[in-house]
Amino acid sequence: MTDTGDRGGYGYDPYYQQPQQNQPYQDPYTGQWVYPQPQQQPYQDPYTGQWVDPQAQHQQPQQQYYQQPPQPQQAYETGQFTTGQYDTGQFATGQQWDTGQFAAPVRTEPEPAAGPTPPPAPGEAQSRPRVTVPQQRPAQGAAVYQTEQFEFVDDAEESTDVIDWMKFTETRGERRDERRRQIRGRITALVVTLTLVIVAGVGYLFFTGKIFGSGKGGGVAASRQEIVVHLHDTAKHVSTALLITDPAAGRTSALLLPDGTGIPADEGSDSLVALGSSVDDLGNSTVRSGINSLLGSDATATWGLYTPFLQNLVDQIGGITVDANTTITVKGQTLVKPGNQTLSGAGAAAYATYQAAGEKPQARLDRFGQVLGALIKAMPQDAAAAASDITKMGAVADPSLPDATLGAILAAASTEAHKGGYSAQTLPVKASGGLDTAAAAMVQQLFGGKVTQSGDARTVARVSIVNATGDSRKQSLAEAAVTNGGFTLVPGGGSTSSKSTSVVAYTDDARAQDARTLASDLGLPASAVKKVTSAQTVDLVVTLGKDFKGS
């Protein structure tokens, strides 16, 4: 076999000499010493029976690879590649390739036939298997691509883009949902506010009777109403009237009730108590029930009016006009003079509670009736305006009579008063507290009531104590004896200069027996009982002298 001078791809060299086998030699090109490996002899595999060349096993054929141009109009499942256009993932030529197709198949020389291979003759040069690669060139003008020009879409980059897009869309969605929630919340709040305003407005109009002709205020203004009015002064005197408004009949009436009017202390009780001295003790509800039981009325509310608030109300409405019958001076200032005049709040309060020395309680009750009538006429005829004035008066409203209801009643009464439909009358009552025979007809005419008290009915005697002993402790003992005896104690008798003997005075013969009973309860002799002609605000007046022992 002739040496061709081929030394591992260095080409032909005419001066190259084959080194001796297994002898070190110096490579003339690299200058390095080469130490050949000892050649091993071929042997036959005892299991397969084939000859094995150890020297050939260490020689790996050198393979050369070339890039095969992509076949046109082909698409593969392994992915898409780019040639600089990363966003589309496509070739500039519009073709899609799989990198797995670029490695050309390696062709080698045909393998020897199966069977044992005879070992080479000694000294024969060993031939290496040669790999041949077809040299193919692309067509003229065809695009040539290198392997590094192709790449898969980066999974990490794709994941980052996807995550960023998801965050972007999620953020936009959250903002959109938040805006929707805010809009819904604002719409809900607006709807609730409008609903409350509408309901409040309709309720107010309904209440005042400006729509539908009903509501609490409207019903009060359009129907008959009965209320009890109490005027309290600073001296603990109480003036009472039953106010009846009847728009259907076109009239408003005030029935004045004397202080001594006997009313049942309890529902169904035969014991009567004087009205004037029982208001503070029994309370508005019990007194109202007693009046209804006595007269057959249907009073459902009580207006408890105190003089300071009466003064505020009169000033609020600009004063009232009355035809006064006396002169009233307070702290050197004349508040009231005889004749027709406009009174301020202070003048109205003074005139309504005034009782001159020597006058009967009826005089004070008549003046109260004048002030009440003038107040009703001066009140606004609009229910809402009247209710506003009542509220500005500053008094605490009774639960049975809210400001709106009272305003509607007074507005309806004012309307009738301007038409001349207001009147005031005093209930006829005997000194004993029982009703006079004329009371039944009056009650029937005013409100269709029916009296339940006979003319012989008697109220519990009202007793006032004046201390003339000089010892304040004895007055307390006398008050206890009056209360324990079943009499009605009226406080405020005060004290006077010392007297030696005690007196139990009465004005009405019907109270003579009560006077004797009281004297006995106080431990006084029968001679202490005396009838007097001077006016008394109570049934019995006890003047305690030094003879009162209090035992």
The pairing of beta strand 251-257 with beta strand 422-426: parallel
In sequence order, what are the beta bridge partners of 264?
Answer: 272
Higher pLDDT, residue 54 or 82: 54
> What tens digit of pLDDT does each residue of 395-423 get?
888 888 999 999 999 999 999 999 998 99
From CA 405, how far away is CA 475, in angstroms rounded? 45
For tokens 């006079």, the residue is 436
Helix axes 345-352, 307-316, angle to 10 degrees: 140
Provide the pLDDT confidence category of residue 368 given band limits of 50, 70 and 90. Answer: very high
Query: Which top CATH class is 462-544?
Result: alpha beta
Say what the pLDDT of residue 231 is: 96
Where is 156: in which H helix or E strand?
Answer: helix 155-207
Q: What is the mean pLDDT of residues 417-438?
A: 89
pTM over 0.85: no
Instruction: Tell whether the model's pLDDT for residue 5 goes beyond 60.
Output: no
From CA 331, how far away is CA 94, in angstroms rounded? 117
From CA 335, how far away is CA 143, in angstroms rounded? 124
Residues 6+ apart with CB under 8 A from 455: 430, 434, 435, 436, 437
From CA 276, how far away is CA 391, in angstroms rounded? 27
**Cα distance from N-terminal residue to C-terminal residue, the chain:** 170
Instruction: Tell whether the model's pLDDT for residue 144 goes beyond 60.
Output: no
| CB distance 320 to 304 below 8 Å | no
Residue 139: what residue type? A
**Which parts of 117-257 are beta strand (E)?**
131-132, 225-232, 238-246, 251-257
From CA 175, how far away is CA 167, in angstroms rounded? 12
Q: For residue 471, how far is the Cα from the chain centroid?
A: 61
Say what the pLDDT of residue 470 is: 85
From CA 404, how far away is CA 388, in angstroms rounded? 8
Highest mean pLDDT out of 62-76, 200-214, 408-422:
408-422
Half-sphere exposure of 524 (CA within 13 A, CB side): 27
Say what the pLDDT of residue 272 is: 81
Closest CA to 542 of 473, 486, 496, 484: 496
> What is the 8-class DSSP label of residue 104?
P
From CA 545, how far away is CA 139, in angstroms rounded? 153
Quote the mean pLDDT of the chain: 77
| CB distance 473 to 467 below 8 Å | no
Which superfamily, per CATH, for 225-447?
LCP protein (3.40.630.190)
Lowest mean pLDDT among 41-50, 499-508, 533-542: 41-50
Where is 178: in which H helix or E strand?
Answer: helix 155-207
